[in-house]
Structure 1
Amino acid sequence: MTQIVTSFSPLTPTEAIGRYGHELTFADPSDGNRIVIRPALIGTLFFERGSQPAIRQALLHCFDKFRASYGDKLSGGRMADTKYSRKTIKGIESMRQYILSTDVNYAAEFVFCDATDYYTAPEYLIKSLTARDYHETHYGDLSYIKFILPWSFAEREEGLAQYHAFMNFCCTTLPVRGGYGGLSAVLPYDFDRYMPMEYQLAQRFTGLEVDSWAFAESRQFEAGYIKSTNWYTVLGEPFVEKLGGEQTVRERLAREDIDIERCGNALIIRAGRFPLLGAPEEGPLDPYIFVNRVIKGLRNPLRKSMHSYMEGVESFAEEETRRWVARFDEPDASMDDGTPQASRGMSALPFQTCPHSGRWVANHLGNQIVHVKAGDVMPGPERSDAGNQVVWHLIHDAI
């Protein structure tokens, strides 16, 4: 097998946020400059038998563990069909009892976070949606749990250790089928109108996890597939067996910067000491590519879209989704469609020289689209009315 040598110059999380924080954070000028997109660390896991009392009790342990660590930050949320609200001690206890007492034939859904409304992107969050007993029994439905911690946790060893400890706790406590974790652009609970921005950020920064539709990813794991590769890739026993067993996985991923840990009935694979943003100057993310070589056969080659349909804007429809999940494949991989890589994820600031002819969009200017020729000056203003740094993203090459 030919070894492909590439340049790899990783940014630490501190360097990445210092250089690109203005692109990764968005205050919506139409909503009082509320923060609706923010960068953070996320973890998403899919687990079995979420309807059953014993697993609900295990889920409550995860809830309580998160609350014990970050309870002073958690002030709002919702459960079942209720609205977001500020949570008092009484409200938190009601949420705890709801997790345990919901009938097995009904889904238990909760969100507990630092936001007290649907419209603000949270920094601290734990949420879950469990399957119903009938659907688990007849269709193999899975439940999911997701947590969010601030980007600052990725900047220091103590924060990374806390992230790992909670991921480890969930994998040990719950019957996990699989999951993933890493850096992500976090959207509010009311996320739909911001999906085009999530799409643009994911084109620009390959390390960002696309997770606004996290609940829908259970369909992939139910069908026997994983989502993709990221900093953390969690493989339940069925996936480990497909790869030839734990020993084979460990042998194939034996490298100093790859960590593999057995947690309950799952393997946690960590690609590198800290998560990577995947900015253009970092080059191909070598640790992620290395892990992807081993696990890419677990992906669904015919998977569906990661976004709902939105007319007139770019988002993760089926073709775009399949390209994204294959972003760490080698250049000669079967899913490479021959599109010039240089134009993917390209961006420019106002008044800079345009690097590539085509159509450009500025999310911070209400998704304004302009056509600019290479060598011309990118249009202004430098900042939006809300004070956001304007960034132009290439969406189509010139024909």
Structure 2
Amino acid sequence: MSLLFGTLNKEGRVYANDRYDARAVMRWTYESIFFDSVPFNLIPPIRFPAQLAKCPTRNEDSTGEVWSGRQIPVTGIWEPWPVDPKIGVRCPNYYLVGDTASQYQFEGRDTLEDVRWRLIWKDSRYMSGGIPSEEDDYFAPDLSANLNAPVVRQARPGEVCPESGEWYAPHLNNKTFRMSAGEIMPGPELGSTGAVIWYLKLRPQTPSVD
């Protein structure tokens, strides 16, 4: 009843568990979980590019199709064509080169069936070895790329503290401890939102005087 109330009531909240620091969201929907900007929603929001490309059209050409159980020759998006033409084309899938083409379970059926996978979009974005522009913000910056950047010290619960100072843990609601070098970092190993890692708060850099 609590889940039902939280789903139907616009102001309802659903909690992941009964802990005092349980993760909570507004209503149990995809939109509320990932897009509600409420202070108690600890799930990071999803950010999409401003412009999204249109979905490729279906591939009417059977040349190069791959049957279930065979190896995928090209990385990209493939769509399944059933053996029975009355069923029609179904939901596409993203495959990496070398993957095994899977079977498909059609609506209302309990069994997996062989299908003919056809390529509708070849993914060549990573062939140059770089990161596509639309994914630039997916990855943290490489600290080694900037020799002047301060190195972030980190430690896990149960490990020896490598440096004295104030340490904080994002997965413990940014709880802060002042630790001395040689002490054992406190637990727990797992917080409500992920594995606990302690980070040393960086001291402000004092400008040098020539």
Q: Identify the TM-score tier after normalising by the shorter chain.
A: 0.3 to 0.5
Which one has a bigger Cα radius of gyration? Answer: 2
Q: Which has the higher contact order (CA 8 A, sep 6+)?
A: 1
Q: TM-score, normalised by structure 1?
A: 0.22
Question: Which structure is higher in helix share?
Answer: 1
